[in-house]
Structure 1
Amino acid sequence: MVPVALLVAAVGLLGLGVVGPPTADGGIRITPGLPILLVAAGVSWWWRGSAGAVLGVVAVAVVTVASIGAGLGSDLVGDRGLPVAVARWVQVVGLAAATYALVRRLVAGRSPVGTAGERPRRDRSKVLQVTGLLVLCGIGAELLAAYGDSTGDPGGIAFALVFFGALYGAPALLARDLVRRLGWGWPSLLLIFAALGTAQAGLIDQSLFSVDYGGYEGWEENREPTLIPAVGLSGYNAYSFIVGHVIFSFAAPVALAEAWVPARARKPWLGPVGITFAAIAYAVAAVLIVTDPESRSGSKAQLLAMAGLVGALVILAVIVGRRHQEDHAGPGKPGVSIWLVLGVAFVLALIPDLMPATWLGVIGAATATATVGVLLLLAAQTRAWTIRHTAAVGAAFLLERGLLAFTYFPLIGDVAVGPKYAHNVSMLLVVALAGWLALRGRTAMAPPAERTALPAG
């Protein structure tokens, strides 16, 4: 599979030379990546050991980085025309397939085997769980709010699911797996999510410092009342972007996804191949955003400050995680109604969206969010709290965002009424299905094995 995948990527680069701009003398432009991929295909076919796989990974990495620098992101979305976009997508598919096959080759000798030398049967439900989380992160982060010009556009939505799955779902998976492998709890995971949200808004798209990001309607009106000139950012935007990413891009989707299969809630989901793919997907998506001229709003001082804050949040997550102890919950009590938790969380989730873009509004919104956090920490100390209760909180926030999206039109672009509301209904149905899968059960109390939803540490 490796040589074939590398050849597919090479065909994409060759096609790019055919349909792209010619050389100065009118000939086909051959990029250096083409011979690199051809040589790598030959080496991987002849040298099937780990060393050959390592060389193949290096070749893929070099070509990927070079392609990003040559405008891969803009080519993929069709800025240079459909033929160039098709060639680039062929290249990307080939590179992705080659990466998968190469990593599998590297780890093949370390996988456990069953009786008679057979490998254990792969658990397909885990693949569905991971895929569902990737999709839900993309929906929660961007599509559910329905504020962009891709609202109601099937092609735009399909692309957004893939791209935002990489930008938000991949780091959510990596952070979750890290925390679960180390035996840490939700507090540490939320701190890592805060680091990721800060990195997204302050380092990657740099919307935190933008005066008019993407031309969205109402940007200046929301930014100016709480603008802090000395640091060049808005308190309202800082709360909305960073806390919004923590909740909608990461925490709420993870809470639901873990409750789909409670027995795996405290276990890592990714192996070496999955970790590699998630890391590459996140890196590529982040680089594509960073290289967009729209995402260059921060000064060097602002970017350094954001990098320091991200580092501090990660260090704090490590400190909290290392102090983690098993939850010493008291004796069992009658179960708290999941629907009561859902209702209370929904009301508290609604409050920030009703607040004005002023300092008083920021204080009110932060107070409501902090109340949710405190209640979660207190509830987690009792045996009445289960993984489904945590999922109910996540579902409440996502449902609130989806329902609120019915009350306004996209902030950019001209979207017709029919596609707009069809989009709202579709996204809300996905969230409702995800919530039902997480909360289903005959009683509100989960089995004792599931009582690890929110450890104290």
Structure 2
Amino acid sequence: MSTTVRGGALAQILALLVLCAVGAELLTAYAATTGNPARVAFEVVFFAALYGAPALVVRDVVRRRGWGWPSLLLLFAALGVTQAALIDQSLFSVDYQGYEGWEQTRSATLVPALGVSAFNVFNFFVGHVIFSFGAPMAVAEAWAPARADRPWLGRLGRVVALAAYLATAALIVSDAQSRSGSPTQLATSAVVVALLVIAAVGWGRRGRPQSDDRRPLRARSAFLVAFLAAAVIAVCPETWVGVSVASTTTALLAGWLLWISRRRSVGLRAIAAVGLAFLVVRGLLAFTYFPLAGDVAAGPKYAHNVVMMLVVVLAGALALRRRTT
């Protein structure tokens, strides 16, 4: 087993895989499968492989080299670009999977020269960084602080996780609806991925700050600031004004985190609180609309919302409880 996982992290790994699937896709409750237990169970496994598996591999790379969260987030951004621009290619789709309102959203902020919607660029890339990878990882690492800076996977575990990711990605790419990017768009996206990886490596080599005795940032404060930012971003309209407000809010939150990290010790609980805030806002917002495809009855729809929120709340409670190991 030591060649697969390290330090008794198996339960933590499995829980993270589920949380990545929930944060990335299931929490939003936008698909026709919403409220269907059998299909949701399948999607948990599928999306765990698509999002959770690469998150684990990337985390192992970062933790083995002693890099910090900036490098981790940059690599998560590379995964997000890969997903939206190279795998499902939803960024370039005119009418992806027949989802209601897709064409209107795309046209509202379309950049004709690039063939992409500015709102979709923000929504997909930032959304993947936060919901598919970053927030679940921030919460999961706080479950067991003693293992937060250690690799979780052994050699076999990394091979299995990478194989699961490549297999699910290949299934998506094989779908004709996931091949909407032009050669130029795909090549440009590949360059962006490469630049993000280079930036992650460069930042990581700068070294990590050593632990200090500064006053820690309280998890409650981090949660409240992030919750406010996440709420503003979530209600932004799918227009140029909305893109501007959402981008500015995201930049302000990132700036605040950088500023506070120079004055306070930002620990695992505070980082987890930021991730949890975004997940909670996404889960709450999902109660306000029905799936964008299919015909889902109110009962199963709201039951789905409640179950997904319970997953997030439980994960958050485990992350934010005070513990020493």
Structure-2-length-normalised TM-score? 0.96
- How far off its partner does 1:356 sit? 1.3
Q: CA deviation at 1:328?
A: 6.4
Q: For structure 1, which runs of at least 5 residues remain unmatched after alignment? A: 1-103, 112-120, 451-457
Equivalents in 2 of 1:306, 1:239: separation in Å?
14
Q: Tell whether 2:142 aligns with 1:142.
A: no
Residue 365 in structure 1 maps to residue 256 in structure 2: no
- After TM superposition, give the deviation of residue 248 of structure 1 in Å: 0.0
The residue identity in structure 2 corresponding to 1:414 is D
Q: 1:148-297, aligned counterparts within 5 Å?
A: 148-297=31-180
Amino acid at match of 1:155: A
User: Residue 129 of structure 1 aligns to which amino acid in structure 2?
Assistant: Q
**Aligned amino acid, residue 427 of structure 1:** M
Q: Distance in 1 between matches of 2:231 and 2:260?
A: 21
- Give how far 1:281 is off: 0.2
Tell me the SS of whatever aligns to 2:25.
helix
> What is the CA deviation profile of residues 42-89 of structure 1, one whole-angstrom value per residue up to 9, with x for unaligned ones?
xxxxxxxxxxxxxxxxxxxxxxxxxxxxxxxxxxxxxxxxxxxxxxxx
Give the corresponding residue for 1:129: 12
1:420 paired with 2:293, answer no
Q: Secondary structure at the match of 1:246?
A: helix
Letter in 1 for 2:231: L
Q: Does 1:375 align with 2:294?
A: no
Report the equivalent of 1:332. 214
1:439-454 matches, within 5 Å, as 439-441=320-322
CA distance in 2, matches of 1:384, 1:314: 27
- In the alignment, does 2:195 pair up with 1:315? no
Counterpart for residue 354 of structure 1: 235
Residue 411 of structure 1 pairs with residue 292 of structure 2? yes
Aligned to 1:80: none
Separation in 2 of the partners of 1:380 and 1:140?
Answer: 26
Does the CA contact (< 8 Å) of 2:7 and 2:152 recur in 1? Answer: no
Runs (5+) with no aligned partner, structure 2 = none
Paired position in structure 1 for 2:274? 393
Counterpart amino acid of 1:392?
A: A
Q: Does the 8 Å contact 2:135/2:275 carry over to 1?
A: yes
Q: Using the alignment, how far apart are the partners of 2:252 and 2:147 within structure 1?
A: 28
The CA deviation at 1:350 is: 1.0
Letter in 2 for 1:348: A
Aligned length: 325
- Tell me, yes or no, if the aligned pair for 1:328 and 1:381 is still in contact at 8 Å: no
Distance in 2 of aligned mates of 1:269 and 1:316: 24
Distance (whole Å) between structure 1 residues aligned to residue 88 and residue 40 of structure 2: 20
1:436 paired to 2:317: yes
Max radius of gyration: which structure?
A: 1
Paired residues of 2:234 and 2:281 also in contact (CA < 8 A): no
CA drift of 1:373 comes to 1.4
Offset at 1:359? 1.5
Structure with higher RCO (Cα < 8 A, 6+ apart):
2
CA distance in 1, matches of 2:41, 2:147: 29
CA distance in 2, matches of 1:292, 1:381: 47
What SS does structure 2 have at the residue aligned with 1:150?
coil
What is the percentage of aligned positions where both structures have the same residue? Answer: 57
Moved over 6 A (4+): none
Q: Secondary structure at the match of 2:28?
A: coil
Find the aligned partners of 2:105 and 2:210 in 1 and give their Cα distance.
Answer: 41
Structure 1 position 199, deviation (Å)? 0.5
CA drift at 1:326: 2.1
Query: Equivalent residue of 2:194, what SS?
Result: helix
Q: Distance in 2 between matches of 1:384 and 1:183?
A: 18
8 Å contact kept, 1:349–1:396: yes
Contact 2:6–2:151 (Cα < 8 Å) also in 1:
no
TM superposition score normalised by structure 1: 0.69
Give the Å deviation of 1:383: 4.5
The answer to whether the Cα contact below 8 Å between 1:177 and 1:269 also exists between their aligned partners in 2 is yes
Q: Which amino acid aligns with 2:219?
A: I
- AA of the residue aligned to 2:320: L
Cα contact 2:6–2:152 (8 A) shared by 1: no
CA distance in 2, matches of 1:370, 1:196: 20
